[in-house]
């Protein structure tokens, strides 16, 4: 596409824009399409997450932005300038690698100084920035250590400081937390969010961990098989998943078949497992048969036979500490999981093998694109 970007002078240019970016690896029979005409716009000073299972193309997109790969078609723009063919060392973009890729022959401070020195910054400025970065990631006490002699979490911090030191316009993070244990990962999630706030740099974060994406991001792009399926804030992605893949990849979801009875504007009356329920229909979603997504925590359990509740038989209960999962088989055979928070005092009155009712909260049912 050669069409110029719509010029909107009132809003600042996006930090990174991908325009119909396609990437094909290999040739002929071995060719593999990693990205399929992906278009994205990432705003200035945004914590943006590329989320998807392995092989969905998220890391490829990150490497294209970094400059380690060139797009087979399409363009990548940084603040409106086409950077598709610039080598990595000419892009004001830095990367935190999954493997950290710290220089083993250099000390912590030397690692952090590396980018600044290559940019030809004066000595005093380099020393000054390195000091600030060490403070920022709380590594002052280890600045003269070799990077091979520090722990994984510390290496992670050094990798961050090294990438932040040259003050890139955009910081790319390639699954940086995946090598850390759970507790450290939680700490680093908060730490990353803090760093992004303090530095005001646009972060593009790649992960396959949906929880990580939901807690940290301003916006998320959910990817699958080289395509972007949905872009939106964490709430939007979670509450209004666009299609079946997004709904199942982010959080737990029940899928319920539904028939449209009548429509009135954007709303419709649906028959779900013999129960009549009102729901909003997003644009482009049409009946008569639909698939509805329903989050397990948006169900209330009731006695069997209650009007307006889905009817079924309780098959199993699984205790999770904070909540209990109720595995139900509805009368039409559809499996349903309801998640109920455990109250400290009340013991639930439902017995496995007995009939049960489950009432969806208002507007909890979400119609999906095919």
Partner 1 sequence: MARPSLRTRSPEEQAARSARIRASWLLSTPALILLTFAAFGPLLIVLAYSFVAPGEYSGVVWELSGQGWFEVLFTRDIFDDTVSLAQAHLSIFWRSASLSLLTTLITLIFGFPTAYFIATRPERQRPLWLFLITIPFWTNLLIRTFAIMEVIRNEGIVNTVLLNLGIIDQPLQMLYTYGSVLLGMAYVYLPLMVLPIYASMERFDFRLVEAGYDLYASRLDILRLIVLPIVKPGIVAGSILVFVPSLGAYVTPRVLGGGNNMMLGNLIELQFGQGRNWPLGAALSITLLIIVACALVFYVRAANREDPHG
* Interacting residue ranges for partner 1, rule: CB under 8 A: 66-68, 87-90, 93-95, 97, 99, 101-105, 110, 114-115, 118-119, 162-163, 166
DSSP-derived pairing of the beta strands 254-264 and 267-272: antiparallel
Q: Provide, rounded to whole angstroms, the least separation between the CB of residue 99 and partner 1.
A: 6
Measured in degrees and rounded to the nearest 5, phi and psi for residue 306 equal -60, 135
Q: Provide, rounded to whole angstroms, the least separation between the CB of residue 341 and partner 1.
A: 45
Q: How far apart are CA 2 and CA 42, in angstroms?
A: 20
Query: Closest CB to partner 1 among 68 and 320?
Result: 68
Q: How far apart are CA 115 and CA 231, in angstroms?
A: 33
Measured in degrees and rounded to the nearest 5, phi and psi for residue 22 equal -120, 140
Q: What DSSP letter does each residue of 26-89 carry, written as one string?
A: S-GGG-EEEEEEEEEEE-TT-EEEEE--TTSSHHHHHHHHHTSS--SEEEEEETTEE-TTS-GG
Tell me 146's DSSP state.
Answer: B
Query: Closest CB to partner 1 among 47 and 114?
Result: 114
Tell me 170's DSSP state.
Answer: E
Measured in degrees and rounded to the nearest 5, phi and psi for residue 189 equal -60, -45
Query: Closest CB to partner 1 among 98 and 342?
Result: 98
Query: Closest CB to partner 1 among 131 and 243?
Result: 131
Query: Closest CB to partner 1 among 126 and 242?
Result: 126
Q: Provide, rounded to whole angstroms, the least separation between the CB of residue 285 and partner 1.
A: 43
Q: Provide, rounded to whole angstroms, the least separation between the CB of residue 138 and partner 1.
A: 22
Q: Which H helix or E strand runs over 317?
A: strand 310-319
Question: CA of 227: how far to CAs of 70, 139, 358, in Å?
Answer: 17, 39, 36
Q: Provide, rounded to whole angstroms, the least separation between the CB of residue 271 and partner 1.
A: 56
Q: Provide, rounded to whole angstroms, the least separation between the CB of residue 330 and partner 1.
A: 51
Query: Closest CB to partner 1 among 119 and 280?
Result: 119
């Amino acid at each position: 596409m050669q069409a110029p970007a719509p010029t909107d002078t009132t809003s600042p240019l996006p930090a990174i824009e991908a325009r119909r970016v396609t990437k094909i690896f290999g040739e002929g029979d071995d060719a593999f399409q990693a990205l399929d005409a992906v278009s994205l716009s990432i705003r200035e000073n945004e914590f943006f997450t590329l989320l998807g299972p392995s092989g969905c193309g998220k890391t490829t997109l990150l490497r294209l932005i970094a400059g380690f790969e060139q797009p087979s078609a399409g363009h990548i723009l940084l603040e409106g300038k086409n950077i598709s063919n610039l080598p990595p060392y000419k892009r004001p973009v830095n990367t935190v690698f999954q493997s950290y890729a710290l220089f083993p022959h250099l000390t912590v401070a030397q690692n952090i100084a590396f980018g600044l020195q290559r940019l030809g910054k004066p000595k005093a400025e380099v020393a000054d920035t390195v000091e600030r970065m060490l403070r920022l990631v709380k590594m002052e006490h280890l600045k003269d250590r070799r990077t091979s002699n520090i722990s994984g979490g510390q290496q992670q911090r050094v990798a961050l400081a090294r990438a932040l030191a040259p003050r890139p316009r955009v910081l790319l993070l390639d699954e940086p937390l995946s090598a850390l244990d759970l507790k450290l990962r939680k700490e680093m999630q908060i730490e990353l969010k803090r760093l992004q706030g303090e530095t005001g740099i646009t972060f593009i974060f790649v992960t396959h961990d949906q929880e990580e994406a939901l807690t940290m991001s301003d916006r998320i792009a959910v990817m699958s098989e080289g395509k972007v399926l949905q872009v939106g804030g964490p709430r939007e992605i979670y509450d209004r998943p666009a299609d079946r893949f997004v709904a199942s990849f982010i959080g737990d979801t029940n899928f319920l078949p539904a028939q449209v009875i009548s429509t009135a504007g954007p709303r419709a009356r649906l028959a779900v497992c013999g129960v009549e329920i009102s729901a909003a229909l997003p644009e482009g979603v049409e009946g008569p048969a639909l698939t509805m997504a329903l989050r397990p925590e948006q169900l209330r359990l009731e006695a069997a036979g209650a009007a307006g509740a889905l009817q079924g038989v309780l098959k199993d209960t699984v205790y999770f500490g904070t909540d209990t999962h109720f595995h139900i088989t509805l009368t039409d055979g559809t499996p349903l999981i309801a998640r109920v928070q455990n109250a400290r005092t009340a013991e639930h009155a439902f017995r496995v093998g007995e009939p049960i009712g489950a009432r969806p909260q208002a507007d909890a049912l979400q119609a999906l694109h095919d």
